[in-house]
Amino acid sequence: MNGLSSVFNLLAYIAAAVFVLGFLNKVVLYFKTPSPLKIPTTPAPKTSMGVVVRLIPEVLFFRSLLKGGITEKILWLGGWVFHVCFLLIVLRHLRFFTYPVPECIMFFQQIGIWAGLVFPLALLILIVRRFLNDRLATITLFADYFVLGLIIAIGSTGLLLKYFARTNLVDVKAFILGLLTLSPVQLPDSPMFLIHFSLVLILLVYFPFSKLMHAWGILISPTRAQVDNPREVRHVTPWA
Ligand code: HEM
């Protein structure tokens, strides 16, 4: 194995560790953070099971984003299409991570390609709306453009790999399975793959420290996930 391969194998392990530990750290931190007030958006469920039922359309269809005006509707469209495409792309990519490849992953191969093609368009909607709407442009931070740019770059280099800078997929799979089985092997000989893969590593490292943690936050956000029972159960904060 050459020097570059050793470096990339090491970087992949570091990025995976930062992602997993960073994510878990945030999960614990969010749980430990007291919510001083009962603030579920009413009408809200009165039981925990009700909260679960409330969260399902929220997670699957981003229901509350569909409620506002035209700006929110555009956000909903771009956001929902983006997340569905992302999921399908990841499911398609699982063929690199499994051997033999399960039937259910094979099922997502064709639709995963279509998702890859729609992906940049959805991202474009998300980025353009930040420029076109004055109020949004004011509250947009560099971090918002950074993460959109990063994901656009990952999607575009993926498409380049698929259509223009073909790489040897057997080598790609050997590389990934080598990582997973803790027996690292040589990197695929493809600069475009190196770029695509490096961008993914950057995303993994960045994820736990960014707004991308909304992926977990949505499940415990007080306005959506609190039970509406202030009369039945006294809401006491640790310092009260
Ligand atoms: C955030 C995660 C990722 C995203 C959003 C992403 C996105 C994409 C997209 C949109 C494509 C083109 C469509 C397709 O062939 O599926 C693609 C292709 C590709 N991706 Fe990724 N990718 C990600 C992670 C990875 C990882 C971790 C690997 C490492 C194995 C990888 C390796 C490849 C390869 C080798 C191709 C070309 C596939 C082919 O030629 O059929 N990607 N990626």
Could you state, in chain order, the average pLDDT of each consecutive group of 10 residues for the chain (240 residues)?
93 98 97 89 93 96 88 91 98 97 97 98 94 88 96 98 97 97 96 98 98 93 92 82
pLDDT at 176: 98
Distance between Cα 206 and ligand 1 center (Å):
19
Are the CB atoms for 225 and 55 separated by under 8 Å? yes
Detail the DSSP E strand segments found in the chain: none
Pocket test for ligand 1, best of 88, 167, 200 (most atoms within 8 A of CB): 200
What's the pLDDT score for residue 68? 82
What is the C-alpha to C-alpha distance for residues 152 and 145, in angstroms, rounded to an integer? 10
Specify if 224 maps to a domain: no
Distance, in Å, from the CA atom of 162 to the CA atom of 224, rounded to the nearest integer, reads: 40
Identify the residue whose C-alpha is closest to ligand 1 atom 16.
113
Residues with CB under 6 A from ligand 1: 89, 92-93, 96, 112-113, 116, 119, 154-155, 158-159, 161-162, 167, 169, 172, 176, 193, 196-197, 200, 203
Within-domain flag for 126: yes
197 is a domain residue: no
pLDDT of residue 159: 98
The number of the ligand 1 atom at minimal distance from the alpha carbon of 156 is 10
188-210 burial code (b ≥16 CB/10 A, e <16): bebebbbbbbbbbbbbbbbbbeb
Residue 114: count other Cβ atoms within 10 Å of its Cβ: 13
The Cβ of residue 18 has, within 10 Å, a number of other Cβ atoms equal to 17
Tell me, in angstroms, the distance from the centre of ligand 1 to residue 175's CA: 14
State the pLDDT at residue 107.
97
Structure token digits, residue 160: 């380049």
Residue 213 maps to a domain: no
pLDDT of residue 71: 81
Q: Residue 73's domain spans which residues?
A: 69-140
Closest alpha carbon to 98 in 16, 173, 196? 173
Q: What is the pLDDT of residue 124?
A: 95
20: in domain: no
Tell me, in angstroms, the distance from the centre of ligand 1 to residue 93's CA.
6
pLDDT on residue 110: 97
How many domains are there within the chain? 1
- Report the atom number in ligand 1 closest to the C-alpha of 151: 5
> Residue 72 burial by CB count (10 A; 0-12/13-18/19+): exposed, middle or buried?
middle
Q: Is residue 129 part of a domain?
A: yes
Return the pLDDT at 15: 98
8, 9, 82, 93: which to mutate for ligand 1, most atoms within 8 A of CB?
A: 93
